[in-house]
Structure 1
Amino acid sequence: MNSLHHFISIFWLFNLLASIIPYQVEVCSASNLLNPINATKHFSFPDFNFTNKPLLSHSVCLLGSAKFSEQKASIQFSNELQGKNIKYQEGRGIYSFPIRLLNPSTNISACFETTFALQLSNSTKNQTGYDGGSALSFIIVPDEFTVGTSGSLIEMLNNTCEKDYKAVAIDFTTTKKAAPEDPNDNNLGTTKSTRIINVSDLGVALEDGCVHYIWINYNGPKKIMDIRLGTRQSRFPFKPIYSEAVDLSPYLNEYMFVGFSASTGSSNQIHNILSWNFTSTSHAFLRFPSAESCDSKISLQNTTAGKKPDKKSSKDDIPLGFFIFVVVVALASVVGFSFIFRHRRNAAKPNNSSEAKVLRPSPPNKPSQLTFSEISLATRSFNGEIELLGADTRGKFYKGKLSNGSNVAVKRFSDQFLNTYISDRKRFLKEITTISNIRHPNLVLVKGWCDENNQIMVAYDFVHNGSLDKWLFSDGVLPWARRLKIIKDVADGLNFLHTKKLAHKNLSCSSVFLDLSFRAVLGDFGFVLMGAESKMFDLSVSVCADVFEFGVLVLEVVAGRRRVEINEENPEEKNLLDFAWNLHQTNDKVRLVDRKMGPLISTEHAIRVLEIGLLCTLNKKKGRPSMQEVVEFLLHMDKPIPNLPTTHPGILLPYKLK
């Protein structure tokens, strides 16, 4: 009966397909033509008046030392409030939404034109005279959260950028000497200047404190760049200071961000953008049916469905329908007989569970046990120079590519870790397989694992933007909105694990990864608490430890610094957790908020998130919340949270910290 049931189901399926196929052939046989259209993007800021701060905050992302100046109604890139002087500051002002600047099908750049008012002047604080090393750039970059390193002509890049980081910049620098090839001190290659123009030869001094107007026009199809400089907005300069052929397409992605980047270097210079207009036009293509349209085909079928077809149409339809019927019957018969044959063959053999497992097809995304040779081949024999991603006390991470094309990150646990902390190998492997079978948007997929040659390895789905620590503790700046979203993502992932009676057991900034959309996902699971006795392997201890580590991670994300940092000048700030509690006692937690995020941050929300982090580091018996409660606190920012104790809680965990 089983075989007959399969036969009938498949026969029905093929008949269903047979009824659909002719209709699809009729509708989709119409030829489609590619028709170009112009996709235009335009925005304008006549000024940056502080009264429009909500709108400006939504439209312009400020990073680093950049701020909105109420006095000048401008974007100011040097912030005198951050210190005694403004040397070695860097900032960015980026339009918050990506703009299409490349047609990937033709590899032709978009046309764009931008006009902005620029003012460079020396600071009134601690002015020691101009000594160079200061620049402002109009930039086209692939992201809206990276801040460059201070210094002339390199304020675009930092060590969060990959070697293939695509960017375009037009520098306006007051550096006295510049070379056609400007060295990059981050070993990411060089920033190469196509052309350097000395505007002082034209009688212009950019650092004179006057307002200068810049017109930049780029023709993508013709690959022509035109730059003009003037002192009056209403008077368009007759002669460009630069007009040459430049192909920007190798340095563009389809969607990019535009804006300004500035750094002060060794000078006390203030940079202001007083107004800004931008317009881009890119070619896109729309597909639509030809004159023999789909509508006419559909209406024709609807009309003839209720009427008796004429002789000509019946002659045309019968052979096609008959042919499809014969093919469907033949295919259904073959499949049906194969089921009958397999059923009889399996009935004749003894019931063997391992053989049945082989015959049973597995879902495409289901993790599987991998062989040592498969992982060795994927990682080029664990090539440390090419494929090594990182290492910790548990083992090493290697990048690899499985035979099915999946990019993976393989955690190869060290012999020392396995021999020291894994007393029950079967239980360890069981937890790996359990974690492998759960799915959540904030958890990294486990592609497979290996238990062979006395080694244990886990293959995770490769997350392209890497771990959180590389973004958080580098020269780049993650804005507050992203940091808050990351904290919420981590909380959701942990809460899901805890509801499934599982724990992460290795939570830190290095085990939180950022996908292409910068969503935080948890990976590099611990599977065992390092330093814990075997009797403390129970779930409640693991969950309690996860909550504590989440609290410390929250402090790191808000403060933008590691949990332990050497600080010879202020040794009391060495341990981040102790420092945070000390600031709480003096009601000065605002000092912990990362100043690099700039002025566009809700201090009230940052302090609340810090307090949630401190709550998580309390002793379990003294008010440590569950992750379910933490998620509620973060979801409803106006919901009251429990009061923190006024004194330092002391030792917080019953097991050895990593």
Structure 2
Amino acid sequence: MDHEFEQGIGPKRFSYQQLVQATNNFAEEGKLGQGGFGGVYRGYLSNLSVAVKRVSKGSKQGRKEYMSEVKIISKLRHKNLVQLVGWCHEKGEFLLIYEFMPNGSLDSHLFKSENMLSWTVRYKIAIGLASALLYLHEEWEQCVVHRDIKSSNVTLDSNFNTKLGDFGLARLMDNELCLNTTGLAGTIGYMAPEYISSGKASKGSDVFSFGVVALEIACGRRSQISLVGWAREAYGNGRVLDVADGRLGMDFNVEQMECLLTVGLWCAHPDFNLRPSIRQALQVLNFEAALPNLPARMPVPMYDVPASSTEPLLSTSLLTGR
């Protein structure tokens, strides 16, 4: 692992003792968040504010996700991706050091914060997330499927610029379609139907997740199974603006709101063959292409047929989000 990591450029190896000192021994008062992977702590390294992700020792996938994250994100360079500063694996611990995001995660603003995001900032965040995905899917030397696009993995810097993070589930895909049987992982509510049914991640399943986040940004509601259906019903009735976040009042650009809601529904189309690429979605969000005409009624979900009996169909009742 040391040899593989040190071939990269950019992120550096830190000692466990350095990180203990940087985080005041992983003090609870400096804890920024907690997830299925473990905790994230505020730290200071040579006057640089950092966020230290401490992978839980009880996480069965901890080592695998840690290696995936270091090997993939250390090579990526994009203004809308969180920068990995360094890494450490000592004393049975797996630690990742990132640049600190002063404005936290998108979900904390949409669903928990009293300081509501303005419409201008929200639309900028959506554009930034789409730009990050375009880089991962089409612009880097290999296709990267993130597999866990959700509002809690979208962080915001001091100027509320989008920074997509958490690449523990990300996978490199070599073939043109970017399809691979990877096994199911991710968070219910953001997962495409064909991904749930077959365990096959793709660019299309990332696009579905982006669509759900776009709807969350516009509606101000947390992702649930019903969010897409609720927005789709309003769209079908010709009243799509009815689902706009009521806390905004009418303090938003109507054309942009209609665009983001429509693109969100387009991306979260249950039939993966009828979803856009992230490039097409971004062109519409930038008003470089016309809005799509979506069917008034929610189509029946299309499921990708498993390639073999070793890939059983899974129901959402068997799954839990991280």
| TM-score normalised to structure 1 length | 0.39
Question: What are the Cα deviations for residues 371-418 of structure 1, in whole angstroms up to 9, with x where unaligned?
Answer: 22222221111111x21001122221111112x33211111122333x
Q: What's 2:286 paired with? A: 635
Partner Cα distance (1:516, 1:466) in 2: 9
Alignment-derived partner of residue 48 in structure 1 = none
The 3 A distance-change label for structure 1 pair 524 and 431 is: closer
Distance 1:601 1:545 in 2: 29
Question: Is structure 2 residue 130 aligned with structure 1 residue 491?
Answer: yes
Matching of residue 472 in structure 1 with residue 110 in structure 2: yes
Tell me the amino acid that sits aligned with residue 460 of structure 1: Y
1:14-33 paired onto structure 2 within 5 Å? none
Answering whether residue 94 of structure 2 is matched by residue 459 of structure 1, we say no
- 2:42 pairs with 1:399: yes
- 2:130 counterpart letter in structure 1: A
Distance 1:583 1:652 in 2: 25
Distance 1:376 1:448 in 2: 14
Letter in 2 for 1:480: W
Given that residues 236 and 295 in structure 2 are in contact (C-alpha distance below 8 angstroms), is that contact kept between their aligned partners in structure 1? no
Structure 1 counterpart of 2:100, one-letter code: F
Q: Which residue of 1 aligns with 2:174?
A: none
Q: Give percent identity, aligned residues only.
A: 30
In structure 2, relative to structure 1, the CA distance for the partners of 1:470 and 1:621 (3 Å cut) is closer
* 1:432–1:527 CA contact under 8 A, matched in 2: no
Q: Which has the larger radius of gyration?
A: 1
Cα separation, 1, equivalents of 2:165 and 2:19: 19
Residue in 2 aligned with 1:561? 221
The equivalent of 1:587 in structure 2 is 238
Q: Which amino acid aligns with 1:433?
A: K
Match in the other structure for 1:445 = 83
Kindly report which structure 2 residues correspond to 1:588-607, keeping only aligned pairs within 5 A, or say none. Answer: 588-607=239-258
- Residues 505 and 526 in structure 1, CA contact (< 8 A), matched pair in contact too: no
472-481 or 455-464, which deviates more? 472-481
Runs of 4+ in 1 over 6 A off after TM superposition: 536-540, 651-655
Q: Which AA in structure 2 matches 1:631? A: L
Does the 8 A contact of 1:511 with 1:525 survive in 2? Answer: no
**Are the counterparts in 2 of residues 618 and 652 from structure 1 also a CA contact under 8 Å?**
no
- For 2:282, the aligned partner's letter is V
Distance 2:115 2:65 in 1: 41
2:12: which partner in 1? 368
> Whole-Å Cα distance in 2 between the matches of residues 551 and 465 of structure 1?
23
Residue aligning to 2:227: 576
Measure the CA separation in 2 of the matches of 1:649 and 1:408: 45
The Cα of 1:588 is off from its aligned counterpart by 2.5
For residues 523 and 603 of structure 1, the distance between their equivalents in structure 2, rounded to whole angstroms, comes to: 30
CA distance in 2, matches of 1:427, 1:594: 35
Amino acid of the structure 1 residue aligned with 2:13: Q
How far residue 525 of structure 1 moved from its aligned partner, in angstroms, is: 2.6
Superposed CA offset, 1:522-555 (max 9, x none): 12333359xx974569997143332111111111
Whole-Å separation in 2 of the counterparts to 1:469 and 1:483: 12
**Which has the larger share of helix?**
2
Structure 1 residue 612, shift from structure 2 partner: 0.7
Q: Once the 2 structures are TM-superposed, how far is the Cα of residue 488 of structure 1 from its aligned partner?
A: 0.3
Q: How many Å separate the matches in 2 of 1:434 and 1:451?
A: 17
Aligned pair count reads 282
Q: Return the alpha-carbon distance in structure 2 between the equivalents of residues 492 and 544 of structure 1.
A: 15
Question: Judging changes above 3 Å, is the alpha-carbon distance between structure 1 residues 426 and 392 closer, same or farther for their aligned structure 2 residues?
Answer: closer
Call closer, same or farther: CA 1:522–1:534 in 2, change over 3 Å.
closer
Task: Look up the SS of the partner of 1:381 in the other structure.
Answer: coil
- In structure 2, the gaps of 5 or more residues are 172-179, 186-194, 305-312
Query: Could you tell me which amino acid in structure 1 is paired with residue 210 of structure 2?
Result: F
Q: Secondary structure at the match of 2:201?
A: helix
The superposition leaves residues 240-260 of structure 1 with CA deviations (integer Å, 9 ceiling, x where unpaired) of xxxxxxxxxxxxxxxxxxxxx
| 1:441 CA displacement | 0.8
In the alignment, is the contact (CA less than 8 A) between 1:444 and 1:460 conserved in 2?
Answer: yes
Deviation string, structure 1 residues 590-616 (Cα, Å, up to 9, x no partner) = 211012223232323312211111111
Q: Which of the two has greater strand per residue?
A: 1
Q: Distance in 1 between matches of 2:280 and 2:64?
A: 34
Q: Is the 8 A contact 1:494 1:627 kept in 2?
A: yes
Aligned to 1:383: 27
Cα distance in 2 between the residues matched to 1:496 and 1:398: 28
8 Å contact from structure 1 (residues 428, 528) kept in 2 = no
- Distance change >3 Å, CA 428–CA 396, structure 1 → 2: closer
**Conservation of the 8 A alpha-carbon contact between 2:102 and 2:157:** yes
Contact 1:605 1:637 in 2 (8 A): no
- After superposition, the Cα gap between the structure-2 partners of 1:503 and 1:621, relative to the gap in structure 1 and judged at 3 Å, is closer
CA distance in 1, matches of 2:17, 2:203: 36
Mapping 1:542-561, distance limit 5 Å: 542-561=202-221
Q: Deviations over 1:210-242 (max 9, x none)?
A: xxxxxxxxxxxxxxxxxxxxxxxxxxxxxxxxx
- The equivalent residue for 1:40 is none
Ranges in structure 1 where 5+ consecutive residues have no aligned partner? 1-353, 565-573
Query: Which residue, out of 256, 274, 280, partners 1:623?
Result: 274
**How far apart are 1:643 and its partner, in Å?**
2.5
Amino acid at match of 1:378: A
Give the match for residue 152 of structure 1: none
